[in-house]
Amino acid sequence: MGKLTGKKLLLLGERDGVPGPAMAAVFANSGAEVLFSATECFV
C-alpha cells in the first residue's frame, strides 16, 4: 500500500516543464486515482 492509495489526483502539467500525461504515467501504479490530467501553456 503506497501512501497515495485511495487518493484522488488533479494533475496540471506545464508545457515547458512536466506535461500532464507524463505525471499521469508516473502515478499509474501508485494506487491513486487520476481524476483530471492536462497540460497548460502560459506563454
The contact set with other proteins (CB under 8 A) reads: 14-22, 38-43
Nearer to other proteins, 35 or 41 (CB): 41
Amino acid letter for position 43:
V
Least spacing, CB of residue 14 vs other proteins, in Å: 8
Least spacing, CB of residue 26 vs other proteins, in Å: 11
CB 17 within 8 A of CB 42: no
CA–CA distance from 34 to each of 31, 42, 43 (Å)? 10, 23, 26
Least spacing, CB of residue 27 vs other proteins, in Å: 15
